[in-house]
Structure 1
Amino acid sequence: MNCLATLPLLLLLSLFTSSSAANFEVHNNCPYTVWAAATPVGGGQRLDQGQSWNINVPPGTAMARIWGRTNCNFDGSGRGSCQTGDCGGVLQCTGWGKPPNTLAEFALNQFNNLDFFDISNIDGFNIPISFAPTSPGADKCHSISCTADIIGQCPAALKVPGGCNNPCTTFGGQQYCCTNGPCGPTDYSRFFKGLCPDAYSYPQDDATSTFTCPGGSTDYRVVFCP
């Protein structure tokens, strides 16, 4: 498993605590169709502008993510492809998407019965996104977003059709992928962090990028193009 397919260390080391399912409302506010994806719960759903998709996520779900796919074409059997975020050529995702894709990541009812959540640009950026807790736990949590014009300002070396790629996928190596021990920020990660300070910019960017809510009492809303 490479650095792009990992969640923050706190999420990976967290402990299960039972509680009730959380509702995730995924809403498309973009002026174009987004094919939403969610794993390990949800699969996939076409969302035209203004449409929403509700997913009930069981307690204890970890290493989970929601993302949007763009410029997709699927046949009647749900097979096809997407320009960004493609998950093996199927509408109903069971694995993770191909970079670049902006991620909303979470793990529910973990250490101290907390939900851990974040937005990540570790896999690059394709769609502006917000990730917000909703009632009844919202007053104890922090809403986060990444809405800057990352595609328009993307460094030339990272530009790809439909998005801004990440340096690990583009260049490889420990400096960018952080697969063999500690690593630090780079000029490319600083580019992402400067535009979206709430979001992960490289795999060990935990201190300023992981947020928590009370587990078992919080639902969430993920919005594309908030």
Structure 2
Amino acid sequence: MNRLLLSTTLLSLLYSISLLSGVEPTTFKIVNKCRRTIWPGILTGADRPLLNPTGFTLKTGKSRTLRVPRSWSGRVWARTHCSTDSSGKFVCAAADCGSGRVECSGSGAIPPATLAEFTLNGDQGLDFYDVSLVDGYNLPMLIIPKGGTSGGCSPTGCLVDLNGACPRQLSVARGNGSRESVACRSACEAFGEPMYCCSEEYSTPDTCRPSVYSEFFKHACPRSYSYAYDDRTSTFTCAGADYVIIFCPLPYTR
């Protein structure tokens, strides 16, 4: 009887350990190496456990570590040139989420914005991640997996400051009389044409091909998404990793 009780207790303990290991959260360490304050924003995907906070202030040289549910998916980005206007509304010149507050509260980045995209614990237990310039660009960004057990676990990102080199048709100025370029739009946002947006008759990988504008992004940042069907060289996988997300990785600072 004692053996049976011991055996049952041991099995229960092992089962509890397996459950705990299955829900162990991932961590995102978000680092600001830019020369100025940034305001990271976070958008959780539909029907996924919400990640809080949805936005916060991160001063230069500082970092913040978040515990992320293992089944989470969503986007992380950074807003720049932010302030509170005369009406008390929080606004940003680039990658604003439009909430009027530091917290984005379920609103995504208004393009153009450099995006870190994640789907954790997906197919075969792998995390899928990428840095996307499909919605344009506003800051250099690097994703580094730490402690992964399988899946490649390669770093990815866009290390180059593209704002100064942005084609004139895509460049976004800071405003208020300043000509400083704070972001670089995608061709889809700038022109709205189906051939650039991979929509209508261009809605398949065979019909939507790289443009001269997406090639500008791809040449500068070959490991980042440059247009909607740029999967082959832009999506990375890892299992069991934590992630460091660095804005303005050295030596490229703004």
Pairwise TM-score range, normalised by the shorter structure: 0.7 to 0.9
> What does 1:3-152 align with in structure 2 at a 5 Å threshold?
19-40=23-44, 41-42=51-52, 43-62=54-73, 64-74=74-84, 79-88=89-98, 89-93=100-104, 94-137=106-149, 140-152=152-164
Residue type of the alignment partner of 1:204: Y
Q: Quick one: percent identity of the two aligned structures? A: 41
Q: TM-score, normalised by structure 2?
A: 0.76
Distance 1:212 1:136 in 2: 10
Q: Larger relative CO (CA 8 A, sep 6+): 1 or 2?
A: 1
TM-score by length of 1: 0.86
**2:246 aligned partner:** 223
Name the counterpart of 1:164.
Answer: 184
How far apart in 1 are the matches of 2:121 and 2:244?
17
The 2-side partners of 1:213 and 1:170 are apart by 34
Amino acid at match of 1:97: A
For residue 194 of structure 1, report the CA deviation from its aligned partner: 0.2
Per-residue deviation, 1:147: 1.3
> C-alpha separation between the residues in 2 aligned to 1:133 and 1:19?
18
* Residue aligning to 2:225: 200
Quickly say closer, same or farther: Cα 1:137–1:31, change in 2 above 3 A. Answer: farther
Let me know the Cα RMSD of the aligned residues: 1.9
Match of 1:184 in 2: 209
Q: Judging changes above 3 Å, is the alpha-carbon distance between structure 1 residues 204 and 44 closer, same or farther for their aligned structure 2 residues? A: same
Secondary structure of residue in 2 paired with 1:47:
coil
Structure 1 unmatched ranges of 5 or more: 1-17
Q: CA deviation at 1:38?
A: 1.2
User: CA 1:186/1:27 → structure 2, altered by over 3 Å: closer, same or farther?
Assistant: same
Letter in 2 for 1:212: T
The answer for unaligned runs of 5 or more in structure 2 is: 1-21, 45-50, 174-181, 250-254
One-letter amino acid of the counterpart of residue 106, structure 1: F
CA distance in 1, matches of 2:25, 2:199: 33
Mean alpha-carbon deviation: is it higher for 114-123 or for 127-136? 127-136
